[in-house]
Chains A and B, each alone.
Chain A
Amino acid sequence: MYFLAIGLIYLAVGGDPAGIVALLMASGLGGLIAGFAWHFGRRYGTRVEDLQDSDAPDATGVVGVYPTASLRPIALAFGTTLLVLGVPIGSWMSMIGAAIVASQVLLLVHDTDD
């Protein structure tokens, strides 16, 4: 909303095209976030966390299940770096990067199965 408004003002004062596009794009992104929040609010209603007078013992169930240590994140990061760095350096590097990323994603999915 905000960006939309600013974008329109800028349009009115005769700004240049690139500026306007950037602002309108940003309003799109902002809209996306707002839409998500709104949708979420509607679907789940008020949660315990938002009540003024709730207290820790009011929450029920498991707080969260936390993943154990994993080699996947660092391997994925390394693969992604090779993938992008291959653009200037050479496609062989991108291919290695892509292979690492693909294998790690598969392993990650496999890990999470159980």
Chain B
Amino acid sequence: MTTIDRKPSAPTVTLGGDDPNHLVSIDSVIGPSGQEGTGLPTTLVGWLTTTNHKALGVAYFVASLTFLAIGGGLAGIIRAELTSPGQQVVSEQVYNQVFTIHGSVMVFLFAVPFGFGLANYIMPLQIGAPDLAFPRLNAFSFWLYVIGGAVMLFGFAADGGAAPFGWFAYPPLSGASGSPGLGADMWIVAIILTGTSGTLTAVNVIATITMLRTPGMTLFRMPILTWNLLVTAFMVLVVFPVLSGALLMLLADRQFGTKFYVPTDGGSPILWQHLFWFFGHPEVYIVALPFFGVVTEIFPVFARRPVFGYKGLIFATLTIGALSTSVWAHHMFVTGEVVVTFFALTSSLIAIPTGVKVFNWMGSMYGGAITFEAPMKFAIGFLVTFVVGGVTGVMLASPTLDFQLSDSFFVVAHFHYVMGGTVVIALFAGIYFWWPKVTGRMLSERLATWHFWLLMIGFNMTFFFMHLLGREGMPRRVPDYEPISNWELWNQLATAGYVILLISMVPFLIAVVKSLRGPANAGADPWNAYSLEWATTSPPVEHNFEWIPPIRSERPVFDFRWINHDDVGAPGVAEAWMAREGLDDRWLPLAGPVAADVADDANAASSADSDVG
């Protein structure tokens, strides 16, 4: 090896010095992880008053997973009731309340807030920011969400029980005479509060991404997850206020006798449907985009390839954001009051950017040296599930089929594949991926494999049979059914699937407990990943970074790991590194022949500079 050391006084340590291939490990630059503070509070008061983005991020994760457990518990009641024909477990009234709150908890209190958790914890790390732009506003949003969520659940304790009208609350059912109980009002209030919380978080996310990126982190070097969170935030900003407005009108109808949605006095229930779905369809993508971002971070890392079509993915996300806000009325085909062709066309168009994404994900894996660590397993499981859900979705977007299937279990199966499946599976992909970053510890691969297969089997069993039920016309939202054909069998299989889903959580929980008891030895970058969050300690120090590598592409950590190879990674990284000498106390000379080349260039450049000066 011909290392030409031009500086006689250079330290003996060189970047990548011990490694035969000169690969740089982040740990060797920033020192070992796990010694420094985690930035997380240690007392209850600390948690209640924190404004730190990492603490609030963890709080969002914990809160939204708690709501997932609650929503899953309610799903258990639904499944128990449907296991056999007739009514056993709950009355029809209670059944209505249970599926309404199940849907609302899952959509409003679990899926969307988990995305906000990512925006809280991961996003600032990915762009090299020390926190969100408005930390106190952030804390306010979080508590508004949790307290609002509690209000919704306390609806069960109200006189007459919780809201019974389905998660999209169509009037007249949701009006004062349709659902007189206080529980309905509490549902409305809860959604207004969590919606407001979401809007404020969106403002915070947008401000952070526009204002707090570290130097060199241009918009088109941001990781896809950050991009998706940005687009999600814009969508939230456009549609959540519409929902809040619509809900205020509904509340006014109920409390002050206004007639916005009352047909007898010039109001219109269809108005509600428009306003609701103007929010409701984008909501599906508001839920999904962050998780698309999660798997887009994962595929390339475990295929050891750059992400395929970086700008294409961003463009697809932007297109989805734009299109999804103009297709809402396909949910209203059955009302016969909307221009079917217009919405059928725009709804089909949205398949294109979605297809682009699927194509790019596969392209990112194609020809790569793929390994199947836990995050990758779940990410691939997500992809398979998502494609299945997409196919059934395209079937639903065609108006003729929609008329037949709209109120059947087919729809239930479809949106659980798209929303439930993709979200829950991608969620675990994300948990396995970032767990080492957040806790400094790894999760057991062996338990993860159990978790993965049980989850996939349980999930597909639960929802596959719902497709069959739907095709044969089993209606949704009805606790009772006739024991015709295979209905009873299919329902029993679906319930068995649910039990397997529950069991799949056991290995995961064991892994979590085991991991938290072990030593924090994951290191900064256990996956040899790409984006900036892996350039700091695990868990990250108080304000996230004490050192940031040069950023010359969307893969700064990859570039830095390969800095000693001038044909790998983005050009200019080595030059930027050499230019830091004397400015950066973590600076170490490069190893290998490249170092000499770069040093030459850098010398030439600096002498050119001094000529000018």
CB < 8 Å neighbour of B49 from A3, A16, A66, A71: A71
A78 to B346, CA, bound (A): 41
CB < 8 Å neighbour of A51 from B139, B182, B215, B342: B215
- Contact check, A18 vs B274: say whether CB atoms are below 8 A apart: yes
Whether B557 is near chain A, meaning CB under 8 Å from some CB there, is: no
Q: Which residue of B lies closest to A104 (CB)?
A: B140
- Contact check, A16 vs B251: say whether CB atoms are below 8 A apart: no
- Contact check, B189 vs A84: say whether CB atoms are below 8 A apart: yes
Rounded to whole Å, the gap between the CB of A40 and the closest CB of chain B is 8
A48 to B46, CA, bound (A): 35
Q: Which residue of A lies closest to B148 (CB)?
A: A81
Please, which residues of chain B bring their CB within 8 A of the CB of A51?
A: 215-216, 218
CB < 8 Å neighbour of B242 from A25, A58, A70, A80: A25
Whether B579 is near chain A, meaning CB under 8 Å from some CB there, is: yes
Q: Which of B299-334 contact A (CB under 8 A)?
A: 322, 325-326, 329
Please, which residues of chain B bring their CB within 8 A of the CB of A52?
A: 216, 218
Chain A interface size, under 10 / 10 to 19 / 20 to 34 / 35 or more: 35 or more
Whether A15 is near chain B, meaning CB under 8 Å from some CB there, is: yes
Please, which residues of chain B bring their CB within 8 A of the CB of A15?
A: 338-339, 342
A10-B339, A74-B139 are contacts. A59–B214 as well, Cβ < 8 Å?
A: yes
A19 to B131, CA, bound (A): 39
- Contact check, B186 vs A49: say whether CB atoms are below 8 A apart: no
- Contact check, B274 vs A59: say whether CB atoms are below 8 A apart: no
Please, which residues of chain B bring their CB within 8 A of the CB of A74?
A: 48-49, 139-140, 143
Please, which residues of chain A bring their CB within 8 A of the CB of B441?
A: none
Q: Mark B269-280, 1 if CB is under 8 A from A, else 0.
A: 011001100100
CB < 8 Å neighbour of A53 from B144, B214, B572: B572
- Contact check, A56 vs B215: say whether CB atoms are below 8 A apart: yes
Interface size on B (CB < 8 Å)?
76
Main secondary structure of the interface of A (DSSP, over half): helix
Please, which residues of chain B bring their CB within 8 A of the CB of A37?
A: 210
Whether B341 is near chain A, meaning CB under 8 Å from some CB there, is: yes
Main secondary structure of the interface of B (DSSP, over half): helix
- Contact check, A55 vs B193: say whether CB atoms are below 8 A apart: no
CB < 8 Å neighbour of B338 from A16, A29, A33, A87: A16
A72 to B136, CA, bound (A): 8
- Contact check, B140 vs A77: say whether CB atoms are below 8 A apart: yes
A81 to B338, CA, bound (A): 37
Rounded to whole Å, the gap between the CB of B325 and the closest CB of chain A is 6
- Contact check, A23 vs B572: say whether CB atoms are below 8 A apart: no
Please, which residues of chain B bring their CB within 8 A of the CB of A78?
A: 143, 147
Please, which residues of chain A bring their CB within 8 A of the CB of B218?
A: 49-52
CB < 8 Å neighbour of A18 from B148, B193, B213, B268: B268
- Contact check, B326 vs A57: say whether CB atoms are below 8 A apart: no
Whether B469 is near chain A, meaning CB under 8 Å from some CB there, is: no
Whether B65 is near chain A, meaning CB under 8 Å from some CB there, is: no
A16-B270, A57-B583, A81-B148 are contacts. A63–B543 as well, Cβ < 8 Å?
A: yes
| Max chain B C-beta neighbours (<10 A), residue from A25, A52, A56, A85 | A56
CB < 8 Å neighbour of A66 from B275, B278, B338, B543: B543
Q: Which of B546-604 contact A (CB under 8 A)?
A: 548, 550-552, 572, 576, 579-580, 583-584
Please, which residues of chain B bring their CB within 8 A of the CB of A50?
A: 218-219
A71 to B65, CA, bound (A): 24
- Contact check, B216 vs A64: say whether CB atoms are below 8 A apart: no
- Contact check, B139 vs A70: say whether CB atoms are below 8 A apart: yes
- Contact check, A13 vs B48: say whether CB atoms are below 8 A apart: no
Further 18 A-B residue pairs, CB within 8 A, beyond A57-B580, A59-B214, A74-B143: A2-B322, A10-B326, A14-B339, A22-B275, A63-B543, A66-B131, A66-B543, A68-B51, A70-B139, A73-B51, A74-B49, A77-B143, A80-B196, A81-B144, A81-B189, A84-B193, A88-B186, A88-B254
14 A-B pairs within 8 Å (CB atoms) are namely A10-B339, A16-B337, A26-B239, A49-B216, A56-B550, A63-B543, A70-B136, A73-B139, A74-B143, A76-B143, A77-B142, A78-B147, A81-B148, A87-B185
